[in-house]
Structure 1
Amino acid sequence: MRHGRLHWYSPEELGGTQRDIYAGVLAKYGARPPFPLTDPEGRLHGPFNAMLAAPGVGAALQALSAAVGSGTSLPPRTREIVILAVAAERDSAFEWSAHRRVAATVGLTDEEIAALGARATPSSLDAAERAAVEAARALLRDRDLDDARHAAVEAAFGEAGVVELITLTGYYDFLATLLRALRVPVPAEEPGGGPTRHG
């Protein structure tokens, strides 16, 4: 069975490093993931199947995914604001589908999520969140931060936070490219606004 352009790996097919990656993905999201993580047969959706296809790279990606998910000093709400901004800027339907759900669990309102999906900046964001989303959009557009945006992020999150925000933005930008190039499908989704393209 295919998952976009890749074989769709069932749990029974996995060996060695693949099993470790699979277990790590399930552990990251827990028993009640906020978005469809597997199909009924246990095959992973989204970029996680690609990690299984190339486990030498996939193990490193899975570790980076875990790090940007829980190993940074960025507040969870800020992290999800940045991820939704990337998903919207890159028209990444899977990222949008998954992370609008995650965003709701960390306090973003429906109105804030809809605004980010429209590439707008919600007026309800505080100064630190506004600095983060403006920096993420600059990184995606210009591959750079001007002095004012850098200073705003550093004032809000510190030196480590600047590095973490750049890494977070780059990781989800990379995932958007991976999802699109491999034609990764989006699990069945109820209406919710935001990007609708493949991946």
Structure 2
Amino acid sequence: MRHSSQRLAAPNPATYTPRQQAIHDEIASGPRGGVRGPLAVWLHRPDLAAHAQDLGRYCRYDSSLDQRLSELAILVTGRVFGSEYEWQIHKGHALKAGLDEGLIEEIRCNRRPEFTDPELEVVHDVARAAHEARNVDDALYARAVQVLGEARMVDLVGLLGYYTLISLTINVFKIPPLGDGASELADG
């Protein structure tokens, strides 16, 4: 599938300001190993890139949520927003974190998976409700706090907010998926 042209490309490294170069180098030397996608576009505003990257590093690598839960929440976010780039990147991370291929496929197809793990179930349900209803009802909130605890619930909401920023950046600036792969979300 051919993707529409990206609206705003990353700044040209040859014309980086000193601040852009410093932020680029900081991001590239971290756990991401490079500056791609939304992070590259954010370099147009290096202070936004710096602060967003700090939040992203916390959400991705330092939160109280284990990788399976984080990647599930990220996939749900990418799916709800139809962000192909986000889905493409995080599907692989989700598989490495131990999420089942069948569960990932159900999310891709916009179907609620059957869950045997109450933590995965509540993360999925909170993520869907937060994005679709822009809130969670009292019963879901109580279940989430019972299953995850308050600290992990705070981290989950922070992660959902960060990946909403990622998704909006991808969608508004039309950041294409890597390579020439077919769309995975168009038919789901």
Q: TM over 0.5, yes or no?
A: yes
Q: Percent identity?
A: 26
**Could you report, residue by residue, the CA deviation over 1:13-54 in whole angstroms, capped at 9, with x for unpaired residues?**
434332333234331224xxxxxx5xxxxxx43101112111
Matches within 5 A, 1:17-32: 17-26=19-28, 27-30=30-33
Q: Given the alignment, which residue of 148, 169, 181 partners 1:178? A: 169
State the distance in 2 between where 1:143 and 1:182 align.
23
Give the aligned partner of residue 99 of structure 2: 108
Q: Determine helix, strand or coil for the equivalent of 2:31.
A: helix
State the distance in 2 between where 1:101 and 1:149 align.
29
Give the aligned partner of residue 151 of structure 2: 160
State the distance in 2 between where 1:88 and 1:163 align.
22
Q: Tell me by how many angstroms 1:98 deviates.
A: 0.5
State the distance in 1 between where 2:27 and 2:102 align.
30
- Contact kept, 8 Å, 1:24 with 1:62, in 2: the verdict is no
Partner amino acid for 1:28? P
TM-align CA RMSD:
2.1
Q: Given the alignment, which residue of 5, 8, 33 partners 1:6? A: 8
Partner amino acid for 2:174? R
- Calculate the TM-score normalised by the size of structure 1: 0.82
Q: Tell me by how many angstroms 1:160 deviates.
A: 1.4
Structure 1 unmatched ranges of 5 or more: 31-36, 38-43
State the distance in 2 between where 1:74 and 1:67 align.
11
User: Greater RCO between the two (CA within 8 Å, min separation 6)?
Assistant: 2
- Calculate the TM-score normalised by the size of structure 2: 0.86
**Could you report, residue by residue, the CA deviation over 1:126-164 in whole angstroms, capped at 9, with x for unpaired residues?**
001100110011000111111111112111221111111
Q: Tell me by how many angstroms 1:117 deviates.
A: 1.0
Partner amino acid for 2:50? A
User: Cα–Cα, structure 1 residues 58 and 153, in superposed 2: closer, same or farther, change >3 Å?
Assistant: same
Partner amino acid for 1:195? L
Structure 2 unmatched ranges of 5 or more: none
Give the aligned partner of residue 146 of structure 1: 137
State the distance in 2 between where 1:123 and 1:101 align.
21
Matches within 5 A, 1:1-199: 4-26=6-28, 27-30=30-33, 44-190=35-181, 194-196=184-186
